[in-house]
Amino acid sequence: MNDILIVEDEDVIRKALRRLLERNDYRVQEAASVTEAQQNFTLDDFDLIITDLRLPGAPGTDLIQNTESPVLVMTSYASLRSAVDSMKLGAVDYVAKPFDHDEMLEAVRRNIELHAGDDRSSASRTRRNGQRGQPQLGEMIGSCKSMTTLYDKIRKVGPTEATVLIRGETGTGKELVAKAIHNRSSRADKPMISVNCAAIPETLIESELFGYEKGAFTGANTNRIGLIEAADGGTLFLDEIGELPMEAQARLLRFIQENEIRRIGSVQARTVDVRLICATHRDLKNMARDHDFREDLYYRISVIQLELPPLRERGKDILEIAEAVLQRSSERLGKEEMHFSPKAIQAITTYIWPGNIRELENAVERAVILSDGPEIDNDELDIDLELVDVSQIRTKQKPQNKPRKDPEPSKSSSNSALDPNEDLSLEDYFQRFVLEHQDSMSETELAQKLGVSRKCLWERRQRLGIPRKKSSKTA
């Protein structure tokens, strides 16, 4: 059973969160401030610390520097910039308030699991040295579960001679994976030749890969070695191998089986020592079944398969990559240190990024060029996006609970004070707060107090079945 410390000054939220975690088999302690937490507990004894950013006295970020335990911060969208800054200081994650039960439980589970095997002092040193946003393996950035699994496989596969097939959507960084494998092999000091099979005309692909002899065809005025031969002793990376013509596939298969190539126009075979890494965004297995790709070649190149997740499935990695790209772009373009506005952060973490990391890099670089100041706003990113609450996007990816049709409370109950000892869930707290204050506050004021957008407030009203009274003020 894991131990969690909650540091939150609002009694209702703190006690509701405690009950939520205890119902899911966590041992929970609580404190209302950083000072109380430090005085009453040994912070390093906890598997996870959940803290609000804004606390009486010292801010929640002070806990990061005073413990080796992972720290998860809670914040409203109004202070989302502060959440990003806290992650730069070493917080492992953030959750925006108000949040759903599933969202919080997933964040807790993920971060405890991710740091369960950490050497605490080593992890602490890493966080305190500001390593967040830095490459985790080679040039790759990110620490979501799918990426840590990928890093593990790369470390195991790298030192071997196995042929590797990297699968992933266009723009996800398949070449970075290939480089990481090459750099962990015994061939790291030898060349890695990268070839985009889709970028070479079909009539030239064989001569580019295998080379040719003088006089082999019109225009062959001299001998020329191919890219496979140029990679002798090193690694050959064939990107978009699914675009390779059938004739070239047959020649490639022989090279893999015999470690031999024969230049076009030559009668002699040459032995080469090359490790092959391939990549594709297509389903080669289905292509082989439909006879659009050689089945025997598919099984030869897929000894080890590595799956690279699309950017939209990488959670907080998206913002981490964007921050790294921003720093790199601003330095290259000679700009002062820049940062994203809260709206830009919300856009980056909400957008689905169909072009993956390549699209993200282009959007950030464009924003750096067009920005007149140190802050990049959503308009400068120029993403086709209607801003929505991130927590709503996440819950839409899961089966939705039916809206709860609670009976309208009586006037006396809706005006009663919130009792922190009542068994309120976070959604109950949201509902009670709206019902109690909607007669005296406008929708804009309600949204500001809850730390959400008006659109988010409206969506939560619909999902929880909270009617908007006609007497409510409008803004």
Q: Residues 260-282: pLDDT tens digits?
A: 998 888 888 889 999 999 999 99
Q: Cα separations (Å) of 333 from 123, 134, 329, 366?
A: 33, 20, 6, 11
pLDDT > 80? residue 127: no
Whole-number pLDDT of residue 471: 46
HEC secondary structure over 348-366 = HHHCCCCCHHHHHHHHHHH
pTM exceeds 0.95: no
Round to whole Å and give the CA distance between 426 and 312: 27
Whole-number pLDDT of residue 118: 54
Superfamily of domain 1-132: Response regulator (3.40.50.2300)
The yes/no answer on whether domain 313-400 falls in CATH 1.10.3720.10 is no
**In the chain, which segments carry CATH 3.40.50.2300?**
1-132
Q: Cβ distance 140 to 147 under 8 Å? A: yes
Whole-number pLDDT of residue 267: 83
Which tens digits make up the pLDDT trace of 411-448? Answer: 333 344 444 444 445 566 677 778 878 888 888 777 77
pLDDT > 90? residue 383: no
Whole-number pLDDT of residue 80: 61
pLDDT > 60? residue 360: yes
HSE at residue 339, side-chain half, CA atoms within 13 A, is 9
In this structure, the chain runs to a length of: 475
Name beta bridge partners: 238.
195, 278
Q: Which helix (H) or strand (E) holds 275?
A: strand 275-280
**In the chain, which segments carry CATH 1.10.8.60?**
313-400
pLDDT > 60? residue 128: no
Q: Name the burial class of residue 411, with classes exposed (0-12), middle (13-18) and buried (19+) by CB atoms within 10 angstroms of its CB.
A: exposed
pLDDT > 80? residue 393: no
Q: What percent of the chain has pLDDT over 70?
A: 81
Whole-number pLDDT of residue 450: 72
Q: Cβ distance 264 to 222 under 8 Å? A: no
Phi and psi dihedrals of 65, rounded to 5?
-80, -10
Fold of domain 145-307: Rossmann fold (3.40.50)
Q: Cβ distance 140 to 177 under 8 Å? A: yes
Whole-number pLDDT of residue 434: 82
Whole-number pLDDT of residue 5: 94
